[in-house]
Amino acid sequence: MLIQIITGTTREGRFSERVAGWVFDHLDQRAGTDAEIVDLRDHPLPFFDAPPPAKAPREYATDEVARLGTTLDRADGYIVVTAEYNHGYPAVLKNAMDWTFVEWTRKPISFVGWGNVGGARAIEQLRLVAVEFEMAPLRHAVHILPDTMIAARQTAEQSVFAPLQPRLELLTEDLLWWATALRAGRSSRPS
């Protein structure tokens, strides 16, 4: 079972790196679950300007797109760690998604967000995007509020996220249930 943690932001000094590390450490401790971070900084892509990937599955325009597509293809489920930029999702995240399509299909996706309302507005919008990708966007999310963000910027200790650990555990349990169920579904009835 492979769960990928996708960093939704790439800017210098980003908080997403910190959150991705916390989520990765949590998943990495679980027997039977492999976790890996997909850092969008490692997948620099131009603004999308190609034929719709939904209509040309896995026909990658460039080696860079192929590298992202084949990476996403390997996962059974995703945890997107995302900021909220101007009450929406970060453009770099949506751009990466737009370069791909079938790689995400019939897989579950969960969210960890941060900001003034814990990234809730970005996460709600991303759930709608996920439906278009024929994914299963899940209910349980982790919302990191400003007090925790401020505290986390003052220490490298993961314990700063301890009050949120039960929420992350709930998210993980739910994601793994769906990842198991949908993997079985994909292999018994390939689309």
Ligand X SMILES: Cc1cc2nc3c(=O)[nH]c(=O)nc-3n(C[C@H](O)[C@H](O)[C@H](O)COP(=O)(O)O)c2cc1C
Q: Which residues bind ligand X (CB under 6 A)?
A: 9, 11, 14-16, 83-87, 114-116
Per-residue tokens: 160: 């700063």
CB nearer to ligand X: give 15 or 133: 15
The residue number whose beta carbon is nearest to ligand X equals 115
Q: Which of 82, 139, 73, 68 is nearest to 104 (CA)?
A: 73
CB nearer to ligand X: give 22 or 178: 22
CB nearer to ligand X: give 12 or 49: 12
Minimal distance, residue 14 CB to ligand X, in Å: 3
User: How many other C-beta atoms can be found within 10 angstroms of the C-beta atom of residue 87?
Assistant: 12
Cα separation values, 31 from 5, 34, 83, 116, Å: 17, 8, 29, 34
Minimal distance, residue 16 CB to ligand X, in Å: 4
d(CA 146, CA 82): 14
Minimal distance, residue 149 CB to ligand X, in Å: 7
